[in-house]
Amino acid sequence: MSNITSGLFTAQVEAFQNLEVDEQLALFWVIYTEMGDSITPAAPGASTVSSEIAQALFERVKSMSHDEQLQIMRDLIGRQNSLICREYGALSDTTKLLFWYLLAQGMDEAVIVPFPEDYQISSESEDLLEQIKNLEFSQQITLFRDIVAPMGVDPNEAPHDEATGL
Ligand code: 45D
């Protein structure tokens, strides 16, 4: 992986990545619901975020079925060599974060697959959530960037796949 991560929250990033794929999605959702109001997309740092690219990718996912939407999110976390995963992998880290934020907002607006009402996050996730809550906002952003950076597939790193042409 050629992603440059901050290296500041290695333990938390690893703890996150060690969760099952669905559990990562679930915890990420809970994080969003806890911090949703404090995120402002028009925040400074906009220089490194391409909202048009994030928006365009989001619109494509939005037009899909709920099952497909969920599969794409699972594929991003599982780093499957799919078209969307490669497109995602070509985004800047901040744009990747914006893309996840758009997905979460889409869930709020019921245009993206809803979070199951009866889902309970694991005690490992709860522990991690508590650690994250204790960080300052700017540290949380750094951590989330480090979490979303290696998701998907870096198109410059993944070998050509004869079967799919990707
Ligand atoms: O059926 O500088 C399960 C920007 C179980 C601006 C499921 C920013 C089975 C520039 C898998 C659970 C805004 C980018 C279903 C800064 C099952 C800037 C589904 C900050 C259906 C600083 C689970 C951005 C699902 C920030 C679908 C801070 C889960 C962004 C989906 C933070 C979870 C974004 C999702 C966060 C979580 C996004 C989509 C925390 C997204 C979280």
| Residue 130 CB contacts under 8 Å (≥ 6 apart), including other chains | none
Q: Does the residue 94 lie in any domain?
A: yes
Query: Which residue, among 122, 77, 121, 69, has the nearest Cα to 96 in the 3D structure?
Result: 77
CATH code: domain of residue 83: 1.10.2090.10
Q: Can you read off the two tokens belonging to residue 27? A: 């915890």
What per-residue string of b and e applies to 31-46 under the rule 16 or more CB within 10 Å gives b?
A: bbeeeeeebeeeeeee
Q: Does the residue 121 lie in any domain?
A: yes
Domain count of the chain?
A: 1
At residue 50, the pLDDT reads 85
At residue 1, the pLDDT reads 44
Residue 58 Cβ inside 6 Å of ligand 1? The answer reads no
- Enclosing domain of residue 119: 30-148
Alpha-carbon gap, residue 101 to 58, rounded angstroms? 10
Q: Does the residue 24 lie in any domain?
A: no
Q: Does the residue 37 lie in any domain?
A: yes
Query: Which residue, among 149, 150, 121, 166, has the nearest Cα to 27 in the 3D structure?
Result: 121
At residue 4, the pLDDT reads 67
Minimum CA distance residue for ligand 1 atom 32: 101
Minimum CA distance residue for ligand 1 atom 17: 116
Q: Does the residue 166 lie in any domain?
A: no
Q: Please tell me the pTM assigned to this model.
A: 0.92
Q: Does the residue 52 lie in any domain?
A: yes
Q: Does the residue 128 lie in any domain?
A: yes
* Residue 112 near residue 106, CB atoms below 8 Å: yes
Minimum CA distance residue for ligand 1 atom 6: 41
Query: Which residue, among 26, 33, 32, has the nearest Cα to 122 in the 3D structure?
Result: 26
Q: Does the residue 34 lie in any domain?
A: yes
Per-block mean pLDDT, blocks of 10 residues, the chain (166 long): 72 97 98 85 67 94 98 97 96 95 96 97 97 93 96 91 86
At residue 30, the pLDDT reads 97
- Within 73-156, strands assigned E span none
- CB neighbours (10 Å) of residue 79? 17
